[in-house]
C-alpha cells in the first residue's frame, strides 16, 4: 500500500515538475530581456511552450490530473506567456514609443490574464460551450510564440541585434507594436481558432499531409526563425477560416463537442 501511495505521489509530482520547468524558462526570458539578450529571451519563451505542451499530456497519460495542477499551470502560463513576452517586447522594440509602448505591453499582459481566467471559468462552470476543436480567442501560448518568433525573425533578417533592439524606421519598426496590440485583443475576442485536439498522429493521413510535414521540417533546418515566424502568421490568419467553419457548424445544428479535460496549452 505504501509503495502504491508513493507511486501516486510521484505521478503527481512529475507533471508539476514539467510545469515548473516551463516557468523557469519564462522567468529566464524576463531576466534575458532586462539584460538585452533578446534572442535568448525569445528562445526561452519557445522552450517554455514545449514544456507547457508536455505537462498536460503527461499528466493525462499518467492519470495524474488534479485541480492543483490546473491552477498551477495557469499561473505558470501567465508568467511565461503573459509577463515574459510583454517585458521582452517592451525592452526590445516598444520602449522608444514611450507611453504607447508601455501601454501595449501592459495590454498584452492583462489580456493574457483575462484569457486564462475566462478559460478556467468556462471549464469549471460550463456557462458557455467550450469546443473540443476550437479555442475561443487566441491561445496565450500561441500569442507568446508569435512574438518570440518575431524577435528571432528580426535577428535572422538583420533588422535587430541583441544590444540595440529593432533598428531602422518604417514598417519593420511599427510591426512589433501593431502585433502586440493585435494579439492582446485577439486573446480576449470571441474569434474561434482551431485547437487541433482532434488531430492524431496514430491515424492514417493523406500523402499530401506527409509531404507538408517533411517540407516543414526541412525548412526548419534551413531557416528556423523564418519558418517559425511564417507558421505563426499562418496560424494567426487561419482564424478567418476556422471561425467561419465554427459558425457554419453551429448554423447547421451540429453538436460541437465540449472539453472534458483542460488542455494545458490554452
Mean pLDDT of 16-25: 94
- What does the pLDDT look like over 228-248, one tens digit per residue? 888 888 888 888 888 887 777
Q: Please, what sign has the CA dihedral across residues 79, 16, 37, 217?
A: negative
pTM value is 0.82
Question: Rounded CA gap, 60 and 57, in Å?
Answer: 5
- Helices 99-125, 67-77: inter-axial angle, 10-degree rounding: 170
Q: Which pLDDT belongs to residue 123?
A: 63
Please, what is the average pLDDT of the chain?
Answer: 81
Question: Rounded CA gap, 41 and 88, in Å?
Answer: 7
Q: Are 58 and 263 in contact (CB under 8 A)?
A: no
How many residues are there in the chain?
A: 266
User: 3-state secondary structure string, 8-42?
Assistant: HHHHHHHHHHHHHHHHHHHHHHHHHHHCCCHHHHH
Cα separation values, 22 from 81, 217, 232, Å: 10, 24, 20
Q: Where are the alpha helices (DSSP H) in the chain?
A: 2-34, 38-61, 67-77, 84-89, 99-125, 140-157, 171-187, 207-222, 224-237, 239-251
- What does the pLDDT look like over 37-48, one tens digit per residue? 999 999 999 999
Cα separation values, 218 from 215, 230, 262, Å: 5, 14, 33
Judged by average pLDDT, the poorest of 11-20, 158-167, 185-194 is 158-167
Domain covering 2-196+203-251, topology: 1.20.120
In this structure, the strands spanning 165-166 and 160-161 are antiparallel
Q: Please, what sign has the CA dihedral across residues 47, 53, 56, 59?
A: negative
Using the predicted structure, report yes or no on whether residue 128 has a pLDDT greater than 70: no
176 Cβ neighbours under 8 A, 6+ residues apart: 89, 92, 93, 94, 147, 150, 166
Q: Which of 183, 173, 172 is nearest to 236 (CA)?
A: 183
Q: Which of 184, 221, 203, 194 is nearest to 89 (CA)?
A: 184
- Hey, where are the domains in the chain? 2-196+203-251
Q: Which of 71, 112, 115 is nearest to 89 (CA)?
A: 112
- What does the pLDDT look like over 60-97, one tens digit per residue? 787 777 888 888 999 999 999 999 999 999 999 999 99
Mean pLDDT of 103-109: 97
Cell of 109: 499582459
3-state SS assignment for residue 134: strand
Q: How confident is the model at residue 197 (pLDDT cuts 50, 70, 90)?
A: low
- Residue that the C-alpha cell 526590445 belongs to: 92
Using the predicted structure, report yes or no on whether residue 109 has a pLDDT greater than 60: yes
Cell of 126: 460550463
Q: Which pLDDT belongs to residue 209?
A: 62
Amino acid at each position: 500500500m505504501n509503495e502504491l501511495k508513493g507511486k501516486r505521489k510521484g505521478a503527481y509530482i512529475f507533471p508539476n515538475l514539467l510545469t515548473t520547468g516551463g516557468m523557469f524558462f519564462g522567468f529566464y526570458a524576463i531576466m534575458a530581456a532586462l539584460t538585452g539578450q533578446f534572442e535568448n529571451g525569445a528562445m526561452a519563451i519557445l522552450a517554455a511552450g514545449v514544456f507547457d505542451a508536455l505537462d498536460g499530456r503527461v499528466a493525462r497519460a499518467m492519470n495524474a490530473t488534479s485541480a492543483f495542477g490546473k491552477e498551477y499551470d495557469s499561473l505558470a502560463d501567465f508568467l511565461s506567456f503573459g509577463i515574459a513576452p510583454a517585458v521582452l517586447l517592451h525592452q526590445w522594440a516598444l520602449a522608444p514609443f514611450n507611453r504607447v509602448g508601455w501601454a501595449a505591453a501592459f495590454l498584452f499582459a492583462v489580456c493574457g490574464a483575462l484569457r486564462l481566467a475566462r478559460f478556467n471559468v468556462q471549464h469549471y462552470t460550463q456557462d458557455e460551450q467550450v469546443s473540443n476543436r476550437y479555442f475561443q480567442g487566441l491561445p496565450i501560448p500561441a500569442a507568446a510564440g508569435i512574438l518570440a518568433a518575431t524577435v528571432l525573425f528580426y535577428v535572422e533578417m538583420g533588422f535587430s541585434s541583441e544590444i540595440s533592439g529593432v533598428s531602422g524606421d518604417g514598417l519593420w519598426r511599427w510591426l512589433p507594436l501593431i502585433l502586440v496590440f493585435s494579439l492582446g485583443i485577439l486573446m480576449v475576442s470571441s474569434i474561434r481558432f482551431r485547437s487541433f485536439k482532434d488531430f492524431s498522429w496514430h491515424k492514417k493521413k493523406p500523402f499530401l499531409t506527409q509531404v507538408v510535414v517533411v517540407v516543414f521540417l526541412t525548412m526548419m533546418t534551413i531557416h528556423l526563425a523564418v519558418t517559425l515566424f511564417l507558421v505563426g502568421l499562418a496560424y494567426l490568419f487561419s482564424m478567418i477560416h476556422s471561425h467561419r467553419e465554427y459558425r457554419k457548424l453551429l448554423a447547421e445544428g451540429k453538436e460541437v463537442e465540449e472539453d472534458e479535460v483542460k488542455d494545458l496549452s490554452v
